[in-house]
Structure 1
Amino acid sequence: MTAAPGVPGVPGRDAAEPVPARRARDPRTWPWWVQALAVYAAARAFSAVVLLVVASRQVASGWTGASPGYADYAGLMWDATWYRTIAEGGYPAQLPVGADGVVQQNAWAFFPLYPLLVRAVMAVTGGSWAVVAPTVSLLAGAGAVLLVHRTVVRGAPRAVAARPGLPLATVLLVSVFPTSVVLQVGYTESTALLLVAASLLAIVSRRYGWACAAVLALGFTRAVALPMAVVVAVHALVRWREWRASGTRPPARDLAGIAAVGVAAVVSGFAWLAICGWVTGVPDAYLQTQEAWRGAATTAPFAGWGYVPAFWFGDAAPWVVLAAAAFVVACLVTPSAWRLGRELHAWSAAYLLYLAAAVEPGSSLARFLLLAFPLAAATAGVVTRPRAARWAWTGGVAALMLVLQVVWVWQIWRFEPPAGWPP
């Protein structure tokens, strides 16, 4: 067969007939990682626009001038300046104490991995904190959503089978979460989310050496390593049941690996407290520092649930707390939550209980909830069939979250002197 004249190499095509244009590739056929990064990039672009719009209405503060640019607004506001202080000057050798003898707010409340990472990048690139810190957070967040996707695939196979597309839907809900703007500012959430997802993925994949490394790094990023010990215990129970059902003898290597991850979680949970006490010479230096940020000078477990709700809701506070607890329990016992893998479900429950015990329930609580990302999978998995209905549900939840994100940035991230509620 010969080619048609004027159209070399195209047999039988008339020269006057146009060659059809190449059809655009369906995004659903893109590699999983491209889809996840595309969703993350779109969400971060939305957040960037919100930050720019709100920054144009920001009055001058101790962190920035009036109407700051994007870099300053993302890299210097609120706790970002504390991390900058650590990156540029380290930690104080002695705890600052006021005239009343009470420890004042100081850098020991903030963990070192993120500011030291930014400092290293600054040294290599020569960039300023305001530029480098948000960029590091943005890139860490990109890595985090990739690991979140893989963690849902490996750790929640039943949920994925019931709701195809669940890993990408989880990435979407995490990326548009009302406080997800912190994934692109000078805060530690991106790094912490990356390490939480890495820890869970390594555990469910039974790569215990990697799990130890991720959990130990997590302990120097945020004070959230202890709940991972519960995940390890649940994982050990899952493995034991598998060995018992199959009648096989547990491999010594796996037993040692699981034990090592458990020890790493406990050590990681207390390492920074010990270092803080050792350097300053005050054994409970970290706890005294935390008290400086609280409405009452106490770090007793669950203490904040007595005075904070009472401040906001008065006599109705007990009912509000009860309703909040009932809502959390309901989220953890829904069918879509139970379809999550045991380790992912355990992390969600243990982490939320840990937050309730260790954190004052103030304005920062919404930001801390970002690390409970398996609940995003549970939310997306509420509707399983048909395909149009499940994506309509996910899209509706995502739209609501975007609206709440605008409200959060305007009400919380924007500072109105003389005082405000910290993000």
Structure 2
Amino acid sequence: MSEVREVDEPTSEPTTPTTAGAWAWMVSRPWWVQVLAVYATARLFTTVVFLWVASVQEQNPWTAEHPGYFPYVGFMFDGSWYRTVAETGYPAELPRDENGLVQQNAWAFFPLFPMLARGLMQLTGGSWEVVAPLLALVLGAGAVLAIHQTVVRGAPRAVAARPGLPLASVALVSVFPTAAVLQVAYTEALALLLIASALLLLIRREYAWMALVVVALGFTRAVALPMAAVVVVHAAVRWWSARRGTDTWTWRTGVGLGALTVLAAASGFLWPAICGWATGVPDGYLQTQEAWRGVREVAPFGGWFYVPEFWFQSRALLVVTLSFALVIAVLVVPAAWRLGNELHAWAAAYIVYIAAVVEPGSSLARFLLLAFPLAAVTAGVVTRPPAARRWWFGAVVVLMLGLQVLWVRQMWHANPVADWPP
């Protein structure tokens, strides 16, 4: 693809020679250099935040007090579970308490990221706390490159309304409050790369390559199921366009997209099936997930009844109603409809999916990072005049950076007495 100069609109005159030189360098670079520069700047900011929070961290189950950067981003919370998978694999039997209830165990954590880290550890001789966060950092770089091209190819109307939208979307993903996990030993970076790549391949109609990516996604996170809905939307739009004479459709197209839909759905059940086969407990994965829940039951949308009541008591219904209204509003504003069908469908299907299967607790904000098309919606809400676009975009960036500092300080910082995982 030719080089794309897609930087958000600059001010008319940079205020200092240093700023002018930096801006001139930026706009003269290829699109991928611009993307990586934005991503690197955001990750440098997050690194400083992590170092600050680590400096006030007390001793906890994962690290000593005041840990260094790599132990802090490599061992904390789920990072130690992924380390267990990388170093010892999965238990042959599910651990149970005296009442026979399945306890928290490694089967809740998907294998692709820790296995990639294990391969690099064996290849380089590096330790988990160094290899895993650096692997996530590199995967995150690949993810933002894929996101940029997905917006370019998948949202032509939105890009026409705001030419700087692809890079602006990358920037908002990079500074999202929970984007800090793109440089820790978590799977979000890999999942984001695979999701963006799958959508890009679908938009390009490279269905065979997408099938491989979707299978990989099934070994990364429990998010493959909504991708099946996106394939259905893509197929329906293509079929309807063929009926109107603006596209092509053959029986091979129908069979191929049907198979891709089935594969995406099957990929969503692949890891639970493997867990059931390996442990001899057909619903072992489901029972393992229940071990992390406040109520040992996984029912669609069930968590939205008891978790908000815990946090907000009598105001729970109001908070839930307003939250759902905000999400619906984001999905129906003009900036959302300007997205391509695949990006819009992913944002909607993924949000409905996580609302159905995830307990709305402290990790929910982290899961929202994978709904990356909403960054394009946010950046594209204001399209004119240019000055308003700049002020809107700048305000959102500052707000997200502030919330990222708050998230790392409040959520990543481990309270030795009682805590909620990020």
TM (norm. structure 2) is 0.93
Alignment correspondent of 2:321: 322
Alignment correspondent of 1:125: 124
Q: How does 1:70-219 map to 2 (within 5 A)?
A: 70-219=69-218
Aligned residues: 402
Instruction: Give the Cα separation in 2 of the matches to 1:248 and 1:193.
Output: 30
- 1:32, distance to aligned residue in structure 2 (A): 0.5
- 1:253, distance to aligned residue in structure 2 (A): 3.7
Q: How does 1:220-369 map to 2 (within 5 A)?
A: 220-246=219-245, 250-369=249-368
Counterpart of 1:143 in structure 2: which amino acid?
G
Is the contact made by 1:234 and 1:346 (CA closer than 8 Å) also made in structure 2? yes
- Distance change >3 Å, CA 115–CA 247, structure 1 → 2: closer
Instruction: Give the Cα separation in 2 of the matches to 1:203 and 1:247.
Output: 18
Instruction: Give the Cα separation in 1 of the matches to 2:30 and 2:248.
Output: 39
Instruction: Give the Cα separation in 1 of the matches to 2:164 and 2:263.
Output: 33
Instruction: Give the Cα separation in 2 of the matches to 1:241 and 1:359.
Output: 34
Is the contact made by 1:212 and 1:260 (CA closer than 8 Å) also made in structure 2? no
SS of residue paired to 1:246: coil
Alignment correspondent of 2:3: none
Counterpart of 2:240 in structure 1: which amino acid?
R
- 1:126, distance to aligned residue in structure 2 (A): 0.4
Sequence identity percentage: 63
Q: Deviations over 1:236-290 (max 9, x none)?
A: 0111122111177613443333123212211100000100000000000000000
TM-align CA RMSD: 1.3
- Structure 2 unmatched runs, 5+: 1-20
Counterpart of 1:297 in structure 2: which amino acid?
R
- 1:315, distance to aligned residue in structure 2 (A): 1.1
Deviates more, 1:413-422 or 1:130-139: 413-422
Instruction: Give the Cα separation in 1 of the matches to 2:295 and 2:22.
Output: 63
Q: How does 1:390-405 map to 2 (within 5 A)?
A: 390-405=389-404
Alignment correspondent of 2:67: 68
Alignment correspondent of 1:27: 26
Instruction: Give the Cα separation in 2 of the matches to 1:95 and 1:388.
Output: 58
Is the contact made by 2:96 and 2:103 (CA closer than 8 Å) also made in structure 1? yes
- 1:62, distance to aligned residue in structure 2 (A): 1.3
Instruction: Give the Cα separation in 1 of the matches to 2:24 and 2:337.
Output: 36
Counterpart of 1:57 in structure 2: which amino acid?
V
- 1:134, distance to aligned residue in structure 2 (A): 0.3
- Distance change >3 Å, CA 249–CA 147, structure 1 → 2: closer
SS of residue paired to 1:102: coil
Instruction: Give the Cα separation in 1 of the matches to 2:266 and 2:128.
Output: 31
- 1:185, distance to aligned residue in structure 2 (A): 0.2
Please say which structure displays the higher CA radius of gyration.
1
TM (norm. structure 1) is 0.93
- Structure 1 unmatched runs, 5+: 1-21
SS of residue paired to 2:244: helix
